Chain A
Amino acid sequence: MTDPSSDQYLPADADKISAQQLTDTHVLHPGAPERFSRSTLVIGSRGSGKTFLLRHRKQTTHEGAVYVNLLKALQSLSRDAGLGGRSLTYSEPLADQIRGKTAALLAITTLELCSREVNDSLDSSLALFDHLLPVALRSTRRLTAANARELRRAVNVLPLTDWPPLPDTSAFSEVFGELSNLYPYPLTLLLDRAEDVPLPSVHLLTQMLDQSFEVLTVIAARPGVSQLLPVAHDPTLVPGDHYDILHLGLQPYQDSWSRFVDTAVRNFLESNQRRVPSDFSLAWAISLARDSLRDAASFAQAALLNGTSRNLTQRADHFKSLREQRLARARAVLYPDVQDFGLFVKTVQAATKLALASRSQFALVIEFEDDDAQISLLGPGDRRREILLSAIRAEALYLAPGFCWHPYELPNRVELAPLLAWNGENTQWIS
């Protein structure tokens, strides 16, 4: 085991850790099923363990499941149309083309991964995709991972403007139905990073959560994805009824979450040969990180680095620097809708000055009031709604503890990120 005061920070990125580390460090999320029995939308902040959860389930209870990083799989769409998950401008014809290309890319990527899983033993041809492809790309070549990869590259290269629109999702559903019949395992799709794909792509993804879509689908996204769901939503697709919602870190200050994070962080550090003294308390690091395991691991390392020297001043400087980075990011994301988010934070801190100076960490919840308007009734384009969603995406604000994410509702009670709430002076928050 290495000296815990080693100053090399370990990145706690679930995309990058090995399968072995995944197994060694996994701890069951409170409230998360070991096995998904219904299509599920997994919502969680950055670092809350969504990717970890999906990858772990692929390795354990969902043998043969297909894990797709949607940001990577659909990258050519963002490049072609200049759209990213955070842009909402597109015309209707363009939206149809994006949906069409999304359908093709998703289907081909899935098939490529399935074929790889079973050593190219699927008995079919690429003609399976005919209804999702322009004529020029159709092929009758044998269905193998290599052929699928080649087709995927050809799809990526074809400009969006040359892509036929997707009139409805029936052809898309049929392809997956056929694939499901060919595949020797129960086909499960684990789709990650839904918040980073274009809006029309998200529309297609949400259709996959419907019970009529034969394949069990689990989609992971950050809370800000709610703005990406269609306003005129499908009345036959009811969250909670037709698919499950799993909100990770719903109660980030409850014992069950704290114990989970504590164990997960210790496992992670020890799997990277970092010794954590058993009497070393990570409680404050876990609280400050709120619902992010990634931040908790990072803060824990900071604690180990500075804790041995008992140098709280050094630790405070480190966290002030982290706070400034977070604030700068929030300012950048929210500008120009909010001219200076930093001023808002100062307003909040001024109003709670005494508590922030004297008490150990608490959840600082802000209740916005003018009238008792429910934000769920505000349509897209309403400034309050857009600002709130942006602030949540920037991790400057969070849904108040206990508020379960719902695609069509936002509360008027939010929590200021603990790191931003901290006044920089009160060392009870960092020890």
Chain B
Amino acid sequence: MDQLTLKLPWASLMEAGGGGPRGRARPAVFVAYRFDNHASRQLRKELQDAAEQSGDVDVLDGHVEPGDHWAPEVRKRIKRSRLIVADVTGPSREVLFEMGFAGNKPLFPVIDRAHDRGELPSWVTIDQIAAYGGTGIAQVVDGVLHRARDPVRKPRRQQRPSPVPGHVVWLQGRGSEWASSARVRFENLAREGGLAVVHVAPEDLYSSEDLREHLRAWVVVGCIDGGSHDYAAHFFFGDIIGRLRAGSGTGAGQSLSRVAIVFAPTRELVDDLVADSVRRVERDHIRLIATQDELLHEAKRLFSRYRKWLNAGSE
């Protein structure tokens, strides 16, 4: 039977007959900031104060009351937001995770001082980054609220590519030799399953285009050990959690769950180096692993699932 697809905004359903009891929600911005840094907290506060004064924008963040389910609550907030303000100073694993998570939402990166840019991975610095430290905060706040009221949609060429089942990425810093033997074994397993693994050294990601190419991954193994490459890994982890399925279209056998594997040399390092946000998301899509055996066991499971998916699709 023929099918006709009609594109409609959500508002056409939610506000049919008068907007519902809650009416139209105000635009919101989500602020990914460094909880443990005074300047960053000050930025958050200034944004909140300005938004309350203008009365037409809500400011949200990743703080969740104890007892609430963190991941779904933060997801809800990010998805509600028109703009993601990310304090990339440092950078911070939490912030990078939330940036990955934010998908194709317009991003407004900010930094404390202009000279802090030198500490950032190059793929973060391609965008214009406003400095809020000192006297810049008022300008940054104005800019954020203006963008929230009138968001600019990302051009299609800057949007993330759709994830593809079977595309596997191994992220390993150049100095992280501890992970090399695991990588070889992982790649062998993948090859047996008819899969190729793309090995990416975060140090080689110079631009957002370089990074974006690898966002097609269905499975990402991010090797973390305290080096600067951990930031890219967290960004990828966030992207996985932000876009949970790989595959075009919908339907039985047409999409696969994406998975991020956090791989560290020891269990203690997993606990120390992984952002809190990563720990609080659904375990269906994030695995925290500290031994080769666990890694290979997980790999076998995933590759087997891929084969089943492949066979289901060919029937």
Contacts and interface: CB of A to CB of B under 8 A. Distances in A.
Interface of A: 231-233, 235, 238, 241, 247, 250-251, 253, 287, 336-344, 347-348, 351-352, 355, 359, 361-374, 376-384, 387, 391, 400-404, 408-409, 411, 413
A348 B8 CA distance: 9
Given A383-B20, A409-B245, 20 more contacts: A231-B72, A251-B251, A338-B17, A342-B17, A351-B6, A362-B2, A364-B3, A368-B7, A368-B13, A370-B11, A371-B104, A374-B244, A376-B245, A377-B78, A382-B79, A387-B14, A391-B13, A404-B251, A411-B250, A413-B5
Given A374-B244, A379-B76, A402 B17 contact: no
A29 to B, nearest CB: 14
A379 B73 contact: yes
B252 interface: yes
Contacts of A348: 6, 8
Main secondary structure of the interface of A (DSSP, over half): loop
Contact of B18 (A339, A359, A366, A401): A339
B263 to A, nearest CB: 18
B17 A377 contact: no
A364 B6 contact: yes
Contacts of A341: 16-17
B2 A377 contact: no
Given A365-B4, A401-B3, A411-B250, A344 B9 contact: no
B1 A402 contact: no
Contacts of B244: 374, 376-377, 408-409
A382 B4 CA distance: 28
B242 interface: yes
Contact of B3 (A235, A365, A372): A365
B75 A372 contact: no
A347 B8 contact: yes
Contacts of B66: none
Contact of B75 (A253, A379, A391): A379
Contacts, number: 157
B8 A367 contact: yes
A377 B242 contact: yes
Contacts of A378: 72, 75-76, 79
Interface string B1-35: 11111111111111111111110000000000000
B45 interface: no
Given A250-B252, A338-B20, A343-B17, A379 B6 contact: no
17 contacts: A235-B284, A241-B305, A250-B251, A336-B21, A337-B21, A338-B17, A339-B18, A366-B7, A369-B8, A376-B245, A379-B71, A379-B76, A382-B76, A384-B14, A387-B14, A391-B13, A409-B244
B199 interface: no
Contacts of B14: 337-338, 383-384, 387
Interface-centre pick from A361, A379, A382 (highest chain B CB count, 10 A): A379
